[in-house]
Structure 1
């Protein structure tokens, strides 16, 4: 059942989104050669709690960390550990914070230094563009399939593929609420988008095949062909006048 949020709940979601965005900004700045993914996790928890919030991923279905750090061919749910980042790595940071009973969820991808190839740089840019195209499609009276198609059409036009086994989702008091938000679909199909809807839109885009598998740790999702994967996500609230990005970072120009 899709739950629509009130104006008061929207304001609480703004606060959760602001904390989420701020912590992700700190993490993005910290990404550099030699830092371990565990050090990024420690930083994420410290910065979250300093803002009076809780890292919502930690303990969620048994997940052991505050942030997901997925590197290169890792799509999502990478567990922080002793791995040290090196120049050219493509690092995806997925993070969520809960405060005042509501959740913000967002993700970004960044290279450690320069991209290893022009195609890798294009993968990151296309994934980011796909996110914003999906946000623009989130309008009152549109259908959920319009949001999904906005991602798929842009990604596939550039020769990349969208992950199909993992999707975006509704969000609010819980991190995962109805509806599911696939990164593929048909325009004009699916539930009607109404003011009060909150979605976590998150394109997961692979350089090669869309097929993925899970490592022995039970969490880390990787591309089957071990080519690069990229991930961006925003929590978006649909108002009467259109979408509001609740997790917008200060380094982002688009609204």
Structure 2
């Protein structure tokens, strides 16, 4: 299903997007060395409920997971990159943490992810991974607009990631979003310009470049959910929900206070 939002729905999408971003950055501000992933999940739960919103993850049970997910946020550490199931782990100095959050409010969902390093240590490899995904996200958004095609976005994202020296997995990528978290079209992180669905004003997309340092192969953790790099290398993931407008693309998942 591909949804095209009307102006009223787009106004609600902006509210949801800002909420997602404010929760993510509010959580980031609270995370320190020694923070337990389960505490992050509890904080996210309270922030979502207090805002009168719903988690898109608690009852999420797709074919590839051991569902339902049962938590309010994805917390992926170091070699984990997608669908990180919160568990009893205290973060250490230098850990690379990805927080991925999708929320539904007033009938419209938004989805975003940030990766950052915990504590004072800043391993160069981790910094490079995060920077590459952030740059790829900027490039993908710049390629989006009315009349552009999904392949234009995918090609822009893939060019940044491959030029940075990273293999690219195309099994999981960006997606349409609207009244539900995951919709068509699929937006792979590598593709050919000029191909695929033509973008229209009112379309919402969640773009999410993610990489692993030395492999494009994923393995599933014993928890049945968390996807990790097959080699144990570090990973990073950046994501925004955008709306296609009459003259370009609008980022919906920006925090109230710009970071």
Structure 1 and Structure 2 fold alike (TM over 0.5): yes
Aligned-residue CA RMSD in angstroms? 1.2
Aligned twin of 1:14: 14
Q: Find the residue that maps to 1:162 and give its secondary structure.
A: coil
Cα distance in structure 1, aligned partners of 2:28 and 2:249: 25
CA contact under 8 A between 1:19 and 1:53: conserved in structure 2?
A: no
After superposition, what is the alpha-carbon deviation per residue over 1:5-53, rounded to whole angstroms, capped at 9, x for unaligned?
1111101111111111111111111121001000000000101111111
CA contact under 8 A between 1:17 and 1:235: conserved in structure 2?
A: yes
CA contact under 8 A between 1:145 and 1:188: conserved in structure 2?
A: yes
2:139 to 103, 108, 133: 133
CA contact under 8 A between 2:149 and 2:197: conserved in structure 1?
A: yes
Aligned twin of 2:65: none
After superposition, what is the alpha-carbon deviation per residue over 1:208-255, rounded to whole angstroms, capped at 9, x for unaligned?
1111111121100000011011011111000102111111124646xx
CA contact under 8 A between 1:167 and 1:181: conserved in structure 2?
A: yes
TM-score where L is the length of structure 2: 0.94
Aligned twin of 1:64: 70
1:110 to 88, 100, 116: 116
Cα distance in structure 2, aligned partners of 1:155 and 1:36: 31
Give the alignment of 1:70-149 within 5 angstroms.
Answer: 70-149=76-155
Q: CA deviation at 1:113?
A: 2.1
After superposition, what is the alpha-carbon deviation per residue over 1:144-199, rounded to whole angstroms, capped at 9, x for unaligned?
00101111100110111223221111000000111011111001111111111110
Cα distance in structure 2, aligned partners of 1:26 and 1:146: 33
Structure 1 residues 153, 101: closer, same or farther in 2, change over 3 A? same
Give the alignment of 1:195-234 within 5 angstroms.
Answer: 195-234=201-240
CA contact under 8 A between 2:36 and 2:89: conserved in structure 1?
A: yes
CA contact under 8 A between 1:4 and 1:195: conserved in structure 2?
A: yes
Q: CA deviation at 1:2?
A: 2.2
Q: Find the residue that maps to 2:158 and give its secondary structure.
A: helix
Aligned twin of 1:38: 38
TM-score where L is the length of structure 1: 0.96
Q: Find the residue that maps to 1:75 and give its secondary structure.
A: strand
Q: CA deviation at 1:139?
A: 1.2
Aligned twin of 2:27: 27
Cα distance in structure 2, aligned partners of 1:57 and 1:140: 30
Aligned twin of 1:157: 163
Q: Find the residue that maps to 2:25 and give its secondary structure.
A: helix
Unaligned runs of 5+ in 2: 62-67
